[in-house]
Amino acid sequence: MGGAVASPEQTLPLPFPPYRGVPAAELEQRIRAIKDELGDQLLILGHHYQQDEVIQFADLRGDSYKLSQLAAQHQNCRTIVFCGVHFMAETADVLTRPEVDVILPDMGAGCSMADMADLDSVEAAWTDLGEHIDTADLMPVTYINSTADLKAFCGRHGGIVCTSSNARAVLDWSFAQRRRVLFFPDQHLGRNTARAMGIPLNEMPVWDPREPLGGNTPQALRASRVLLWKGHCSVHQMFRPEHVTQFRQRFPGITVLVHPECTMSVVDAADLVGSTEFILKTVEDAPAGSTWAVGTELHLVNRLAAENPDKSIHFLSPMVCMCATMYRIDLPHLAWTLENLAQGTPVNIIKVPDETAHWARVALRRMLEVK
């Protein structure tokens, strides 16, 4: 059977492949033209990990949650183009007005950490845990770097979302209500935060969803305070304590600043630990002439160095540690997205189902209420 034939009035989406061969200067000119045409009806969000060629067009920069918060506050825009990854676009859709469309320029821009915890696995873990501990006394906490359906899972079970900047406040809130926490998908953020609160490592077993009982004994589960999902950020896990040692040897007096998604051994070796926004503010406020080694995504560190020429800023790893999925958003995808939007054939709209969006919003609002 043949496919449907477009009527003369019907406009079909522009295909993507031809955009690959267009010079960057021409794509930039075309992107600026669309931005001028759509004005404040269009809001382009750029995560800090984006390439310079893309983030130059962002109306707002930030980490994932800051961008979603800012997007929710904008009353004029009708379309958000989120230059980030899939879970970020989902969060923006959950938090913005129903009439606002959220678009992800490349649907292949995912997050390996978010993919390490899926709803089926978390629900199965919850059931298994219920055979050995009282899940009514277990608080599900998901890092914002997770899918909307996992945020909804937390919402339905009285749980909450956290960011890297408020993880401790969220754990304090959780322990005020329940004895235990199930923290997913990033084990390192959970471990580093809980240990700073005084919780011993032997009360923080790791839950491996591929193993029976997560690879634990019933006794270990009953003795637990924080159950850490076996997930991680592929970028931040690349940093090693020996990298810190090497920089201290090369640059006496250097300050080492890392993200809490790094391993415990790297966090222990560093001078300062904090979220993306903390890293930015700390370096920007640092005195001229100071020297820094920063353990987070490569594009962000390079941009920090370029924007703070009065300081000596180094990338902590000798290896390239960039977010490969963020890298999928490029000039061709951004231009293709915007030109389809301008001609009335929007592509890659991210829409979270209503029920999932409701419960995800509940968990996110709980997070907003935590001080």
The DSSP code sequence of 82-119 is EES-HHHHHHHHHHS-TT-EEE-S-TT---HHHHTS-H
CA distances from 136 to 150, 152, 180, 277 (A): 18, 17, 10, 34
> Looking at residue 116, what is its pLDDT?
84
Give the residue from 68, 70, 83 showing the smallest Cα distance to 35.
Answer: 83
**What burial class does residue 262 get, using C-beta atoms within 10 Å of its C-beta: 0-12 exposed, 13-18 middle, 19+ buried?**
buried
17-109+327-352: CATH number: 3.40.50.10800
Helix (H) or strand (E) holding 180: strand 180-184
Q: Any residues with CB less than 8 A from the CB of 37 and at least 6 apart, and which?
A: 342
- Residue among 252, 256, 266 at smallest CA distance from 293: 256
Distance of CA 367 to the CA centre of its chain: 15
User: What is the architecture, at CATH level 2, of domain 114-233?
Assistant: 3-Layer(aba) Sandwich (3.40)
Is the Cα dihedral 296, 300, 303, 309 positive or negative?
Answer: negative
Polymer length in residues for the chain: 371
Please give the CATH superfamily to which domain 236-315 belongs. Answer: NadA-like (3.40.50.10800)
From CA 200, how far away is CA 206, in angstroms rounded? 13
For the chain, 371 residues long, give each residue's pLDDT as a single digit of tens: 344 444 445 789 999 999 998 999 999 999 999 999 999 999 999 988 888 899 999 999 988 777 877 877 887 899 999 998 888 899 999 999 999 999 999 988 767 777 788 999 999 999 999 999 999 999 999 998 899 999 999 999 999 999 888 999 999 999 999 999 999 999 999 999 999 999 999 999 999 999 999 999 999 999 999 999 999 887 888 899 999 999 999 999 999 999 999 999 999 999 999 998 899 999 999 999 999 999 998 888 998 999 999 999 999 987 655 565 666 789 999 999 999 999 999 999 999 999 999 999 999 989 888 86
Do 114-233 and 236-315 come out as alike in CATH topology? Answer: yes
Question: What is the residue extent of each domain of the chain?
Answer: 17-109+327-352, 114-233, 236-315
